[in-house]
Structure 1
Amino acid sequence: MVEQGKGKRQELHLLNRKLLEISGVLNVESFDSEEFLLQTELGHLTIRGHNLHIKNLNLEQGLVSIEGQVNSLSYLEPGANTSGKGFLGKLFR
């Protein structure tokens, strides 16, 4: 098991793929109805789906709630380019 940095904690709660609640969020880097990019205590997190929108945002407490159809959650490798928006972002640079 890989040990994360001390004091860093993150929780993800996904209910029926329609409501995602995340703690440990430092910043919302970018978002649209199909993709969110969040800077979290454990790295950049990409959420992909359809009709995604922010239900609740409280960066002072590090909490974000996202509603919509969630299809995937993935952490980016440290040092990965976070400026693009997936395939379409690369296509239209």
Structure 2
Amino acid sequence: MEKKNENKLEEPRSNIVLESRKKLTLTGVEEVISFDDEKILLNTKLGFLTIKGSELKMNKLDVQNGDVIIVGNTASIVYSSKEVKKEKESIISKLFK
């Protein structure tokens, strides 16, 4: 039996563990973009991650290892692509081009 080539590039990894919608444990976090008690925006190895809820607090932040623990009432967790999208133009600005 031959061993598979172990020189493959490692795929980016990021894990999410949500316990009873009260405690969120994340790995693979590269940067905290913004946060308040209702919305947290993170840059992870798999793209941007938006967490919405109420009474959100970061209990642990270890950017060197990419670990974050968030407590509070989690309402939604949404990934978006790594590309930063342009803000949508208003209807008025489109009309006057």
Which segments of structure 1 move beyond 2 Å, counting only runs of 4 or more?
A: 77-83
Query: What residue is the counterpart of 1:7 in the other structure?
Result: 11
Q: Which has the larger radius of gyration?
A: 2
TM-score, normalised by the number of residues in structure 2: 0.75
Deviation at 1:81, TM superposition (A): 4.0
2-side partners of 1:47 and 1:78: how far apart?
16
What RMSD in Å do the two structures reach over aligned CA positions? 1.9
Aligned residues: 79
Q: Deviations over 1:9-63 (max 9, x none)?
A: 1110000000000000000000000000000000000000000000000011100
2-side partners of 1:68 and 1:14: how far apart?
11
Q: Which SS does the other structure have where 1:73 is aligned?
A: strand
TM-score, normalised by the number of residues in structure 1: 0.78
**Which residues of structure 1 form unaligned runs of 5+?**
84-93
Identity of aligned residues (%): 37
Query: What residue is the counterpart of 1:91 in the other structure?
Result: none
